[in-house]
Amino acid sequence: MERITQQRKIVLGLFNDNKNSHLSAYDIYKLAKKKLPKINLSTVYRTVNTLVEEGKLSKYQLNEEHYHYQITEKVPHYHMICSICSKVVEIPLKEIEAPAKLLAEKHKFKIARINLEIDGKCRKHK
């Protein structure tokens, strides 16, 4: 049986409080520190890595600097990321899968997996 630590409860609670958020470890640290002042950054990294291994959090590299995390969802999705403000728009897998299959058929290609991240500018920064 897995041990539910206070740190895990707080980290998971932060994601429940910030639905659809893509938080970096440092973002998590700043928010967690308000609830648990003695928490340190290395504890946050260990906690999020454990939660990723358990499948409770998903890890995304939304820019080249660092990873972001979010609650693992049952509906797979991809990200469009604004290069100006880092806004993230989630695109459901089903919207990408059909065109990808058509392209694969056209080019006689068998898809093993799809890994997609779209960088650009959001509506505000066009």
Q: How confident is the model at residue 1 (pLDDT cuts 50, 70, 90)?
A: very low
What kind and span of H or E run contains 29? helix 25-35
What are the residue ranges of CATH 3.30.1490.190 in the chain? 77-125
Structure tokens at 108: 């006689």
What are the residue ranges of CATH 1.10.10.10 in the chain? 6-71
**Residue 53 DSSP label:** H
Determine the CATH number of domain 77-125. 3.30.1490.190
Nearest partner of 84 among 111, 109, 121, judged by Cα: 121
| pLDDT above 80 for 76 | no
Q: Which CATH number fits domain 6-71: 1.10.510.10, 2.30.110.10, 1.10.10.10, 3.40.50.970?
A: 1.10.10.10
What does residue 66 show for φ and ψ, rounded to 5 degrees? -160, 170
Q: Which residues, in sequence order, are bridge partners of residue 59?
A: 69
Most confident of 22-26, 37-41, 58-62, 96-100: 37-41
- For the ranges 32-46, 65-79, 83-97, which has the lowest average pLDDT? 65-79
